[in-house]
Amino acid sequence: TKFVIDSVLDAGGRPCPPSIVGVGIGGTSDRCVEMAKEALLRPLDSDNPDPALARMEEDLFTALNGSGLGPMGLGGSTTVLGVRIKKAFCHTASLPVAVNIGCWATRRASARITPDSVEYSQGALI
């Protein structure tokens, strides 16, 4: 968790906090970076299905918002809007970790494209 906290605090106001933080743990180095990016897209109102990762997300959220960095790095209690973590198995000799910081405007949407139309949605389209 220290690496994630240090990464966000070192970035300061550059990612335009309050931010969404995506963390990838394990896998290969390239997969780890990909998981950190994917983690940013998990809805903020969803819980991590892994109880250990859910607790880590909560602990990081609390620590980062207690850091005092605040909006735009100007001080305050809202440094992050959420922390999302994904993990993968990896060889015991390595444990890659990647942190991806998305600005507050990180958005997600879905589109269904057919030959006749394009349908947009803020949520998932099935």
Which residue range is the domain that position 53 belongs to? 2-121
**Model pTM score:** 0.84
Q: Is residue 126 part of a domain?
A: no
Q: Which helix (H) or strand (E) segment is 39 a member of?
A: helix 29-40
The residue that leads in pLDDT, 28 or 123, is 28
Helix then strand then coil, in percent of the chain rounded to 5, is 30, 25, 45
Q: Is residue 71 part of a domain?
A: yes
3-class secondary structure per residue, 81-115: EEEEEEEECCCCCCCCEEEEEECCCCCCCEEEECC
Nearest-angstrom CA–CA distance, 126 and 123: 10
Q: Is residue 73 part of a domain?
A: yes
- 91 pLDDT tier (thresholds 50, 70, 90): confident
Q: Is residue 56 part of a domain?
A: yes
Nearest-angstrom CA–CA distance, 78 and 90: 34
Task: Supply the pLDDT for residue 122.
Answer: 67
Task: Supply the pLDDT for residue 41.
Answer: 87
Nearest-angstrom CA–CA distance, 54 and 36: 15
pLDDT at 125 over 70: no
Q: Is residue 41 part of a domain?
A: yes
Q: Is residue 16 part of a domain?
A: yes
Q: Are 95 and 32 in contact (CB under 8 A)?
A: no
Q: Is residue 69 part of a domain?
A: yes
Q: How many domains does the chain fold into?
A: 1
Q: 26-77: per-residue pLDDT in tens?
A: 999 999 999 999 999 898 889 999 999 999 999 999 999 999 999 999 999 9
Q: Is residue 23 part of a domain?
A: yes
pLDDT at 126 over 60: no
pLDDT at 114 over 60: yes
